[in-house]
Amino acid sequence: MQHIDKIFKLHNTLRDRRTPITGKALQEKLECSRATRDRIIKYMREMLDAPIVYDKNRNGFYYDHDHAQHPYELPGLWFNAQELQALLACQHLLANVSAGILQDDIVQLQNRLEKLLRLNNGVAKPDFDKIKILNQANRRSDDNIFLKVAAALFNGKRLRIGYHARGDNQHSQRDISPQTLVRYRDNWYMDAWCHLRGQLRSFAIDRIVSVLELDQSSDLIDTEQLQQHFASSYGIFSGSAKHLAVLKFSASRSRWVSDENWHPEQQSQWLDDGRYQLSIPFNDHRELLMDILKHGSEVEVVAPGFLVEAVREQVAAMGKIYGDR
């Protein structure tokens, strides 16, 4: 933020005085011109709600402490013009990722940021029409359920949820202790301790059909244990990694894959023939299989054997669909 040092100096000067200070004396203290002094005072009044008053009789500026509820202090957040512009863009992204959630609060934040931005010359308000967000795999969920789940997480409370699982199409009711909210591939998940199964589980927020916050406090799991259970294997599937997938990508596809991070503990190397080899720890192979298949003939699965066989079965099944056409 431009002139931030002078803003602090002006604030400290007025805060410590009980009598007005002349404009000329302020210019000397701030080491600036009259025009700059006036711009700073205007900014503090309009944007920082500073109670700066000019007394014509005494020809000076002062803080109006008599009409303030408490001594004035500068707010704690400061941004320069570029930071404000970036924050506005992030706010726009947030509004699109979580449409409907806290929408009124987001609008108020946007209006405040736009007001701040208008005072910074040379930096335009971001044109949000030039920002495109493609939520290709986003699944619709209930905003009220999301907010209740998030509230229980931050309040350290257990939840009683009704859950409709996609895998087996079964409905169940269970008590859970929320641990972590996860945004993964454009959808929200809740990592939690499931008291029904006595295990750590991941629940898709869009599959929770009912939720009730309980009076009981959550059973909190150690962070390292959570990391080991949910982050050691590939994808959303939990559990410690038991297998290592070895994939070889064609030279042309490697130009993309070599810049991608598939897993924090992946290992990679360039081969002599120009191909790129990627090794990935995993537990459940289903999600990994889907990501392998999207690369088609540009990737070869080397190991383990059961993953090679799973790819072969899928290729054979596709051949039956398209083979006779």
Encode pLDDT of 39-86 as tens digits. 999 988 888 888 899 998 888 999 887 765 567 777 655 566 666 666
Classify the C-alpha dihedral 19-23-25-29 as positive or negative.
Answer: positive
Buried b / exposed e over 173-185, threshold 16 CB at 10 Å, is: ebbbbbbebbeee
End-to-end alpha-carbon separation of the chain, Å? Answer: 65
Instruction: Determine if the pTM surpasses 0.75.
Output: no
Burial of 245 per CB tally in 10 Å (0-12, 13-18, 19+)? buried
Distances (CA, A) of 83 to 1, 64, 123, 247: 9, 31, 10, 41
- Compute the Cα dihedral for 89, 91, 93, 99 and give only its sign: negative
Q: Find where tokens 């301790």 sit.
A: 193
What is residue 323's predicted lDDT score, i.e. its pLDDT?
76
Q: What is the pLDDT of residues 300-322, one digit of tens each?
A: 999 999 999 999 999 999 999 98
Q: Are strands 199-204 and 299-303 parallel, antiparallel or unpaired?
A: unpaired
Q: Which two tokens stand for residue 104?
A: 């009124």
Of all residues in the chain, the percent with pLDDT exceeding 90 is: 46
pLDDT on residue 260: 92
Q: Distance between CA 239 and CA 244 in Å, rounded? A: 14
